[in-house]
Amino acid sequence: MSALRPTILFPLFAKVTTLPGIGPRLVKLVEKVAGENIVNVLWHLPFGIVDRRFAPKVGDAPPGKIATLTVEVLAHAPPPPTRTNRGGRAPYRITCGDETGKITLVFFHAHGDYLEKTLPVGEKSVISGKVELFDGRRQMTHPDAIVPLHQIDDVKRVEPVYPLTEGLSPKVLDKAVRAALTKVPVLPEWQDAAYLQRQKWPTWHDAIALAHAPKDEDDLSPLHPARSRLAFDELLSNQLALALVRLKARVRRGRSLSGNGKLRAKVKAALPYALTGAQARSLEEIFADMASESRMLRLLQGDVGSGKTVVALLSMLAAVESGVQAALMAPTEILAQQHFETLKPLCDAAGVRVEVLTGRLKGAARAPIVEDVAAGRVHIVIGTHALFQKDVEFKDLGFAVIDEQHRFGVHQRLELADKGSGTDVLVMTATPIPRTLTLTAYGDMDVSRLDEKPPGRMPVATRLVNVERLDEMVTSVVRAVKNGAKVYWVCPLVEESELIDLAAAEERFAHLKTVLGDKVALIHGKMKAAEKDAAMDSFSSPDGAKVLVATTVIEVGVDVPDATVMIIEHAERFGLAQLHQLRGRVGRGGKSGSCVLLYTGPLTQTAKERLETLRDTEDGFVIAEKDLQLRGGGEVLGTRQSGMPEFKLADLTVHGELLAAARDDAKLIIARDANLETPRGEALRTLLYLFEQDDAVRTLRSG
């Protein structure tokens, strides 16, 4: 089989413009709700139904119910040219009927010539819509469907209702989906026959047809056999793809790195506290991986402030003891710089040279560091994605740490590892991820969890306050500053309205400045690097700013131990994980912290539950599970920038058991047929291509 998509799938990957009715104007709207290929339209499942099978005589059509009526067109009554008392034109009315009675069709802003052509007097037509009573007479305003008699079966059915976007009509999308269904080929069965029979699931071909032809509300349930089958297909493609990537990483030889422990002993002696049990356990797991001949690929999950950075440093030192270099990659310059400042004193104590490389380091300042990294004179390099640049070469990179993995794609993590030979990779995240999502995004990794807080971390009291009490909040901030506190004031930043939100941050900054003068600093993503540094330096310094007004640029990893108060404005606009990350910025320096969630009412039920969860617990893993339950898998980490998979058919809040089954099946497949060469293996290759897991199929070919 070639490296290309199988020809049997070609019809499904044709552009949506090949479907009837989708021209240049509508294509953008269809792509917005579904995607650019026919297969994406098939994954766009209905969420509701309209039953148009009820087809009484006109005299028997009850008001308030949707009915499909066969009528004769009796008379047209165009509106008079004058305006009505309300200022608009009177409606266009058409009288229709059958032997049992009459009904008036009402059209506002109508084109008379179009209606005369569509509903000619004396002809029979089929109309469908809600029947109403007006002045004791039956009428139907803007029927949903009007077709000639011979097309009655197209209307008299249960009509699926699809998610739409402004400007896209249900009729257009329904027509496109029905056309897409005619392109569905019969594909070879990739599921295990016994499992399929046990679950009583249809074939893939039948499942797609059934999912788009619901007959009642039960057919819309994610647990319906057709929908469960499609969800399992999607989850199996995800788990099999991860298993293949993992297999390739395992097959590519690593090297044994164990070290003599001398550098680690020096750093432990310099630490002002003992390691927690969770840190010690995670380090044992990491060192065991490093010592083996296979390449390490491990995820270190730890809640905010659980001590991941120290675990990363001790792991990197084990590599340096073994005679190789280590690198730590962070998602932002602020965080890279901060890691450097945290680790440098400890590295100095161990006699290890550490340097920082970010995009802002240019020319004369950059060249000697790059040269020393290439020569092996730098033992540990900390940086942003600038570490990928072609001019950055390592003498011997043996260990790579990637911080806040969900900010990077899988490819970036592989690119950094490829800077060395058989490089061990440790991935860290401070965003606790629910177990189900850990499987779908990091199924190719082993997992260590830091589930204890280091000594000295104080609880953070969390309160919900209505934004109507803003003036009180400002007064209490002034009071807190007088008592020596440092305060974060976070304003939301939502992509769609970046400029408005920046204006909000600047306005809050100006407002607080009138009260506190130069004790207020501002930081946001649009500022130049030097301006951000100046604001952070001022806030970090004991004599500098006491209040930092910020957008969520400070969400990850920013560490100012003296900060004890966190105020989050429009808290209802943030995700739970993000709120938890922000709250974790305070209470770090041995003093207890407080967090105020300023919200604008009235709150939706979901927003209320989200804020109350945050108020009631500080356990990041509990919060992550609640976030998944409230928002569904697709949004928990903001999939667009996270490299997390976004499922179209599977709902992880409902299909958790199917995910576990898919994982087990993928393991079995790899054990029995790692190259997917059996008849089922060939069918599974088709499944991988169907769900656009092309990279996974490529790993089969590249060995």
Domains and CATH numbers, the chain: 1-50+166-185 (no CATH), 53-156 (2.40.50.140), 187-201+217-251+658-703 (no CATH), 262-450 (3.40.50.300), 460-617 (3.40.50.300)
Query: Across residues 206-229, what is the average pLDDT?
Result: 96
- 8 Å CB contact between 263 and 352: yes
Give the residue from 204, 202, 205, 150 showing the smallest Cα distance to 182.
205
Give the residue from 384, 379, 388, 386 showing the smallest Cα distance to 313.
379
- At 665, the pLDDT band (50, 70, 90 cuts) reads very high
How much is the pLDDT for 642? 42
Q: Tell which wins on pLDDT, 440 or 156.
A: 156
**pLDDT greater than 90 at residue 689:** yes
How much is the pLDDT for 444? 64
How much is the pLDDT for 398? 93
Most confident of 212-221, 399-408, 448-457, 637-646: 212-221
When mean pLDDT is compared across 85-94, 196-205, 328-337, the lowest value belongs to 85-94
**pLDDT greater than 90 at residue 158:** yes
- Retrieve residue 135's tokens: 């002045």
pTM, rounded to two decimals: 0.68
Most confident of 30-39, 436-445, 546-555, 568-577: 30-39
- Retrieve residue 126's tokens: 């089929």
Query: Across residues 679-690, what is the average pLDDT?
Result: 95
Tell me the C-alpha distance between 501 and 513, whole Å.
Answer: 18
| The pairing of beta strand 446-450 with beta strand 520-523 | unpaired
SS3 274: coil
Q: Is the dihedral of CA 508, 513, 515, 518 positive or negative?
A: positive
- Retrieve residue 360's tokens: 């802002």
Give the residue from 122, 123, 136, 130 showing the smallest Cα distance to 106.
130
Distances from the Cα of 290 to the Cα of 249, 267, 400, 443, angstroms: 14, 19, 11, 19
Q: For residue 32, give every residue at least 6 positions away whose Cβ sits within 8 Å of its Cβ, in sequence order, or none.
A: 165
- At 680, the pLDDT band (50, 70, 90 cuts) reads very high
- Output b/e per residue, 610-625; b: 16+ Cβ within 10 A: bbebbeeebebbebbb
- Retrieve residue 5's tokens: 């998509």
CB count in 10 Å sphere of residue 37: 18
How much is the pLDDT for 2? 39
Surface-to-core class of residue 661, CB atoms within 10 Å of its CB (0-12 exposed, 13-18 middle, 19+ buried): middle
- 8 Å CB contact between 173 and 22: no
SS3 242: helix
Question: Mind listing the pLDDT tens digit for each residue in 234-293?
Answer: 999 999 988 887 787 666 677 899 999 999 999 999 998 889 999 999 999 999 999 998
Cα–Cα–Cα angle for 44, 46, 49, nearest 5°?
165
When mean pLDDT is compared across 4-13, 403-412, 462-471, 520-529, the lowest value belongs to 403-412
Cα–Cα–Cα angle for 81, 85, 89, nearest 5°?
35
Q: Tell which wins on pLDDT, 4 or 118.
A: 118
How much is the pLDDT for 643? 44
Edge-to-edge strand order for the sheet containing 325-329?
354-357, 380-383, 325-329, 397-403, 424-429, 297-302, 446-450
Q: Tell which wins on pLDDT, 413 or 251.
A: 251
Most confident of 175-184, 243-252, 442-451, 648-657: 175-184
When mean pLDDT is compared across 61-75, 179-193, 398-412, 638-652, the lowest value belongs to 638-652
Cα–Cα–Cα angle for 610, 616, 620, nearest 5°?
75
- 8 Å CB contact between 557 and 431: no
Surface-to-core class of residue 331, CB atoms within 10 Å of its CB (0-12 exposed, 13-18 middle, 19+ buried): buried
- Retrieve residue 179's tokens: 């056309």
- Retrieve residue 245's tokens: 């990537």
SS3 427: strand
How much is the pLDDT for 40? 95
DSSP string, 71-86: EEEEEEEPPPSSB-TT
**pLDDT greater than 80 at residue 96:** yes
DSSP category for residue 445 = S
Question: Mind listing the pLDDT tens digit for each residue in 534-580?
Answer: 888 898 888 889 999 887 665 444 677 788 899 999 898 888 878 88
- Give the mean pLDDT of the chain: 87
Give the residue from 160, 126, 125, 131 showing the smallest Cα distance to 66.
131
For the chain, the distance separating the N- and C-terminal CA atoms, rounded to the nearest angstrom, is 15
339-341-343-347 Cα dihedral, nearest 10 degrees: 150
Question: Mind listing the pLDDT tens digit for each residue in 277-316?
Answer: 999 999 999 999 999 988 888 989 887 778 889 999 999 9
Question: Mind listing the pLDDT tens digit for each residue in 611-650?
Answer: 999 999 888 878 877 877 776 544 443 333 344 557 899 9
SS3 368: helix
| The pairing of beta strand 297-302 with beta strand 424-429 | parallel
**pLDDT greater than 80 at residue 589:** no
What is the Rg, in whole angstroms, of the alpha carbon atoms belonging to the chain? 31
- Three-state secondary structure along 643-679? CCCCCCCCCCCCCHHHHHHHHHHHHHHHHHHCCCCCH
Q: Tell which wins on pLDDT, 494 or 181.
A: 181
Give the residue from 571, 643, 88 showing the smallest Cα distance to 407.
643
Question: Mind listing the pLDDT tens digit for each residue in 458-480?
Answer: 788 999 999 899 999 999 999 99
Most confident of 397-406, 566-575, 671-680: 671-680
- Retrieve residue 557's tokens: 């990893």
Query: H/E element holding 450?
Result: strand 446-450
Query: H/E element holding 297?
Result: strand 297-302
Tell me the C-alpha distance between 146 and 57, whole Å.
Answer: 16
Query: Across residues 163-171, what is the average pLDDT?
Result: 90
How much is the pLDDT for 701? 58
- Retrieve residue 183's tokens: 């392109």
- 8 Å CB contact between 354 and 343: yes
CB count in 10 Å sphere of residue 62: 11
- 8 Å CB contact between 649 and 234: yes
How much is the pLDDT for 272? 85
How much is the pLDDT for 176? 95
How much is the pLDDT for 262? 95
Give the residue from 449, 420, 407, 412 showing the smallest Cα distance to 316.
420
